[in-house]
Chains A and B, each alone.
Chain A
Amino acid sequence: MARVKFDVVIIGAGKAGSQCAVSLRDEGFAGTIAVFGDEPSIPYDRPPLSKAFLTGVEATEDLVLRAQSVYADQKIDLILDTRVIALDRLNHTLELEGGDEVEFDELVIATGARVRPLPFDGVDLDGVTGLRTIDDAVQLRARLQEADRVVVIGGGFIGLEVAAVAASVFGCTVTLVEALPQLMSRTGLPESAAYVAAHQRALGIDVLLNTPVKGLRGEGGRVAVVVLGDGRELATDVVVYGIGVIPGTDLAESAGLEVANGILVDRTLATSDPHIWAIGDCASYPSVFTAGVVRLESVQNATDQARHVARAIATGKREPYVSVPWFWSDQAEMRIQTAGLTTGFDETVVVGNREDGAFTVLAFLDGRLLGGDSVNASRDHLALRKILGTEPSLWSALLTPLAARAKEFSLREFARNVDSLKASETVL
């Protein structure tokens, strides 16, 4: 049984884990760094798996985040296809599958999440798949090339993106089934969700809301029928499900770290053990953008949290993490981008022109701006991020009441004004 020691060990070689290792070097950290990943591939970008990679426009090498040589040049030990099975907090050691032990001074847990399985029988049937890894995407692409009929279970980003690709690129007959009355119910506002539903329907996708699924039925081991809650049956060749994820908290939980949906961290992203951090999809943190703790699944969250923890470890300074959360989804020619955390809003205002298919919905709570969704309006989105990144007391009063002047209101202009307010504030 071998035993090695690294100054920093990062568990997880996804966007967050790999970014954290590289950012440690950017911050001047000179100690030893190891990154453990349980997939065989070197760290890669996941968003294209349901977009350009699924369509076949991008190849596997386009997904690679950094060439293998980068890790060697930066003296980052990248140890792939290796599972960490136990964490001993008292002795600051990890146990690997196979029995080897790894000692650390600082540990960063970036274990991501796995696809939430369907809660009924039939998941093992041939033709039923989730989407998380390169392998999943390669298999799904092959399925879609052959399939006539596809049923997508779940109306979140993944489901909507796969449905759009299946219908518009592979020409499949697609039904998208969502149990709740609204698409994207976790991140989307009603106005943008309604627009997205109309857009999906315009692509020829049959969008069924308020429609739970009861089960799947196969023929000769292959999926053949999706049984809906009301007893209706949909014949299909392929079932893709995107009903959320399960965060990778097992290791932390069995080591006695506090877990609340994700691994619970404080404002600095440290767990209840000050030398153990958690970042990305697996971490629940108190955000300044909402009440309580949140666990976010996004590129922005993974990279910003990775950089934040790298800085804290490299400099020894523990600062609160305050980055503005943002998300995006591409569905055929449509792009929706969210800035801020809008859950719990009590008012929405649409700015821009919905008829043109380009608009932004802003969400408020007690007159306070929470964030918003931009549909085909990237510049609005960036402006909104810029605004949310500044002190609300600077501009909050200038935003209300907005409803009466929503049509003429320009987010970009407002962002510029906020910028100059900020500059004058600094001078004062």
Chain B
Amino acid sequence: MPKVTYLHADGTEDVVDAQDGVSVMRTAVTKGVKGIVGECGGELMCATCHVYVLKPVNLASERSEDEDEMLEFAASPRRDNSRLSCQIIMDEPLDGLVVETPEAQN
């Protein structure tokens, strides 16, 4: 199973086994990883699953136009490596993904 690492602002981290085909948001929420809310359930609507992607670096460029626009309205500052984690679907090639959770989601 592909692994995701979530780094938190307080210096702690969670390393989680993700299921193939399940989003980084849903993986976090179902495993109780803090810092990701996913209020709308992955509908690309609430911007409460904002993450900064640290690895791989090219993942940030795969934002859709809607996602891009919506990140502007996230609670924490949008950076070049910002993504909505409901839009990142885990698979084997993404094994070793590292994301940082922002200070605030709402």
| A residues at B contact (CB < 8 Å) | 22, 26, 45, 47-48, 64-67, 69-70, 73-74, 299-300, 303-304, 307, 323, 328, 330, 337, 378-379, 381-383, 385-386, 412, 415-416
Q: Which residues of A contact B70 (CB under 8 A)?
A: 378-379, 382
Minimum-distance CB pairs A-B, first 5: A70-B32, A379-B69, A382-B73, A67-B30, A45-B41
Say yes or no: A378-B73 contact (C-beta < 8 A), given A67-B30, A70-B32, A303-B37.
no
- Asked if residues A379 and B41 are in contact (CB atoms below 8 Å), the reply is no
- Asked if residues A67 and B31 are in contact (CB atoms below 8 Å), the reply is yes
Name the distance in Å between A332's Cβ and chain B's nearest Cβ: 15
- Asked if residues A328 and B32 are in contact (CB atoms below 8 Å), the reply is no
Name the distance in Å between B47's Cβ and chain A's nearest Cβ: 7
- Asked if residues B106 and A26 are in contact (CB atoms below 8 Å), the reply is no
Instruction: Let me know if B45 is at the binding interface, CB within 8 A.
Output: yes
Q: Which of A48, A66, A304, A378 contacts B41 (CB 8 A)?
A: A48
Q: A67-B30, A303-B37 are in contact. List 19 more A-B contacts (CB 8 A).
A: A26-B34, A45-B41, A65-B29, A65-B30, A70-B32, A299-B39, A299-B41, A300-B39, A307-B106, A323-B106, A328-B40, A328-B45, A330-B43, A378-B66, A379-B70, A382-B47, A382-B70, A386-B73, A416-B72
- Asked if residues A383 and B73 are in contact (CB atoms below 8 Å), the reply is yes
Name the distance in Å between A17's Cβ and chain B's nearest Cβ: 15
Q: Closest A residue to B29 by CB, please name it.
A: A66
Question: How far does the alpha carbon of A378 sit from the alpha carbon of B46 in the complex, in Å?
Answer: 10
Name the distance in Å between B72's Cβ and chain A's nearest Cβ: 8
13 A-B residue pairings within 8 Å (CB atoms): A26-B34, A65-B29, A66-B29, A66-B32, A70-B30, A73-B32, A303-B37, A307-B106, A378-B70, A382-B45, A382-B47, A382-B70, A412-B69
Which interface residue of A26, A303, A337 has the most chain B CB atoms within 10 A? A303
Question: How far does the alpha carbon of A379 sit from the alpha carbon of B39 in the complex, in Å?
Answer: 17
- Asked if residues A66 and B30 are in contact (CB atoms below 8 Å), the reply is yes
Within B1-42, the residues touching A (CB, 8 Å) are: 29-32, 34, 37, 39-41
Instruction: Let me know if B44 is at the binding interface, CB within 8 A.
Output: yes
Q: Which residues of B contact A48 (CB under 8 A)?
A: 41
Q: Which residues of A contact B72 (CB under 8 A)?
A: 416
Q: Closest A residue to B41 by CB, please name it.
A: A45
Q: Which of A26, A65, A299, A412 contacts B40 (CB 8 A)?
A: A299
Q: Which residues of A contact B40 (CB under 8 A)?
A: 299, 328
Say yes or no: A69-B66 contact (C-beta < 8 A), given A304-B106, A307-B106, A382-B47.
no
Q: Which of A64, A328, A381, A415 contacts B30 (CB 8 A)?
A: A64
Q: Which residues of B contact A381 (CB under 8 A)?
A: 45
Q: Which residues of B contact A415 (CB under 8 A)?
A: 73
Q: Which residues of B contact A64 (CB under 8 A)?
A: 30
- Asked if residues A67 and B32 are in contact (CB atoms below 8 Å), the reply is yes
Which interface residue of B30, B72, B73 has the most chain A CB atoms within 10 A? B73
Name the distance in Å between B105's Cβ and chain A's nearest Cβ: 10
Question: How far does the alpha carbon of A383 sit from the alpha carbon of B70 in the complex, in Å?
Answer: 9
- Asked if residues A379 and B66 are in contact (CB atoms below 8 Å), the reply is yes
Question: How far does the alpha carbon of A48 sit from the alpha carbon of B29 in the complex, in Å?
Answer: 16
- Asked if residues A303 and B30 are in contact (CB atoms below 8 Å), the reply is no
Q: Which of A70, A303, A378, A383 contacts B39 (CB 8 A)?
A: A303
Question: How far does the alpha carbon of A340 sit from the alpha carbon of B30 in the complex, in Å?
Answer: 30
Q: Which residues of B contact A74 (CB under 8 A)?
A: 32
Within B45-90, the residues touching A (CB, 8 Å) are: 45-47, 66, 69-70, 72-73
Say yes or no: A385-B73 contact (C-beta < 8 A), given A22-B32, A66-B29, A378-B66.
yes
Question: How far does the alpha carbon of A379 sit from the alpha carbon of B69 in the complex, in Å?
Answer: 7
Q: Which residues of A contact B32 (CB under 8 A)?
A: 22, 66-67, 69-70, 73-74
Question: How far does the alpha carbon of A1 sit from the alpha carbon of B66 in the complex, in Å?
Answer: 56
Name the distance in Å between B104's Cβ and chain A's nearest Cβ: 11
Q: Which residues of A contact B106 (CB under 8 A)?
A: 304, 307, 323
Question: How far does the alpha carbon of A219 sit from the alpha carbon of B75 in the complex, in Å?
Answer: 56
Question: How far does the alpha carbon of A67 sit from the alpha carbon of B18 in the complex, in Å?
Answer: 13
